[in-house]
Amino acid sequence: MAVTSKAAPAAVATTAADDKPPNKYRQALPQYTAVAPFFILFAIFGAFPVLFSIWISFHSWDGIGQMKWVGLEQYHYLLTDATFWKTIGNTLIIWVLSTVPMLLLALVIANALHNATRLRTFYRIAYFVPNVTSVVAITLVFGSIFSNNFGLLNAFLQSIGLGKVEWLTSPWGIKIAIATIVTWRWVGYNAIIYLAGLQAISADVYEAAKVDGASPRQTFWRITVPMLRPVILFTAVTSTIGGLQIFTESRVLFGDTSSIGGPGDAGLTIVSYLYQSAFIKNQFGYGAAIGWALFVLIVLFSIINWRLIGGNDEERLTRRAARRVERRIAAQNAKKEAADVR
């Protein structure tokens, strides 16, 4: 750790050198001070609460009175709680309904953006605005668009001869409405990320594909998608984590506290249920247990994502494909060089 002494500021070195030889921890005091705020805040508002939430989940507690030890009873109840399983189902359905179209559309938009030479900045900003707007405000707007009787969407469906759909009262309508809001907010964000990924792919690779006579579709599936794999993994993992935590949309759409998830709890998500249990019904222990179930789910789905998209076999295949392309480029360059020399 010779480097440490080099990095240590002179002021501290002199005070430390009073009688003892400079201590490497003491010399690093300014650095520790610099990183301390995060770790102190994390200890109080992150690490401690996480550990404490295990403790709470073993208790029956209303948040004010005595905590009553119940052991694993909350978890036992959780596993048999039909509402809890329903919220998992709701959340997963909403997640699939939003993530799949969202990532596919983002890929299409990113591809179009990549090829567009004009208006690029305008497009990027226009696509990004939904992401930075207030979720509450925009959920209210969508709530009116999806409104059963007076909504714009139903007015439109009626005007083209199709009947009304009970968007905000039927189980599927509710889920589609929430998924639409999520998709609308996040398509642009993901498209921008994909665009950055596309721009990082070297033009040589496409050049090589062109020389080999690859069709645009082949180029897209054999080069663009495999090369984008790490970026796709990033967006898949982040949208999974985000998707499992959906709350605001469902809460604002079905605002009042008695039916926080809409008719028949069809829009009740895991986090809505956590919120409802802990902060409306004052079942803090149960809320904490739901929190842990959510954590397990997030870890589980992140691993699944990882395996599916970044997975071993697949990765090897992509690497092989990349190597093949590299070899081809190398061969081409060699040919070019040979021609240049001549």
Partner 1 sequence: MSVERVRTAVGHVVLMFGVLVSLFPFYWMVVMASNTTPDIFSYPPKLLIGSHLFENMGKVLDNIDFFGSMLLTLVASLAVTVLVLFFDSLAAFAFAKYQFPGRNVLFGILLATFMIPTQLSLVPQFVVLAQFGWIGSLKALVIPGAANAFGIFWMRQYAKGAIPDELISAAKVDGAGFFRQYLTVGLPVLRPGLAFLGIFTFINVWNDYLWPLIVMTDPNRLTLQVALDQLNGIYGTDYSMVMAGALMSVIPLIGVFLIGARSFIADLAAGAMKF
Residues 109 and 115 sit within 8 Å (Cβ to Cβ):
no
Nearest residue to 13 via CA among 1, 33, 4, 37:
4
190 touches 235 (CB < 8 A): yes
Rounded to the nearest whole angstrom, what is the least distance from the CB of residue 120 to partner 1 in the complex? 10
Output the furthest CA–CA distance in the chain (Å, rounded): 91
Q: Which residues, 281 to 320, sit near partner 1 by CB under 8 A?
A: 284, 287-288, 291-292, 294-295, 298-299
Nearest to 295 by CA among 274, 267, 265: 274
Q: Which stretch binds partner 1 (CB under 8 A): 166-174, 259-267, 275-283, 326-334?
A: 275-283
Footprint of partner 1 on 171-230 (CB under 8 A): 184, 187-189, 192-193, 195-197, 200
Is residue 9 part of the contact set for partner 1 (CB under 8 A)?
yes
Residue from 100, 155, 300, 334 in contact with partner 1 (CB under 8 A):
155
Minimum distance of partner 1 from residue 337's CB (angstroms): 30
* Phi/psi-derived region of residue 199, left when phi > 0, alpha when psi is between -120 and 50, beta in every other case: alpha
Residue 34 or residue 334: which is nearer to partner 1 going by CB?
34
Question: Is residue 288 a contact partner of residue 278, using CB atoms and an 8 Å limit?
Answer: yes
x-or-dash string of contact with partner 1, 21-50, rule CB under 8 A: ---xx--x-xxx-xx-xxx-xx-xxx-xxx
* Residue 95 interacts with partner 1 (CB under 8 A): yes or no: no
Q: Does 252 bind partner 1 (CB under 8 A)?
A: yes
Site for partner 1 contains 144 (CB under 8 A) = yes
Shortest CA distance to 180 belongs to which of 246, 121, 230? 246
Nearer to partner 1, 14 or 333 (CB): 14
**Residue among 17, 72, 136, 304 that touches partner 1 (CB under 8 A):** 136
Helix (H) or strand (E) holding 29: helix 29-42
128 is an interface residue for partner 1 by CB under 8 A: yes
Residue 52 or 221 with smaller CB distance to partner 1: 52
Helices 82-115 and 73-80, packing angle to 10 deg: 70
List 69, 85, 221, 279, residue binding partner 1 (CB under 8 A): 279
Nearer to partner 1, 116 or 330 (CB): 116
Q: Six-digit token pair at 82?
A: 């039909």
Residue 202 phi/psi, 5-degree rounding, is -65, 140
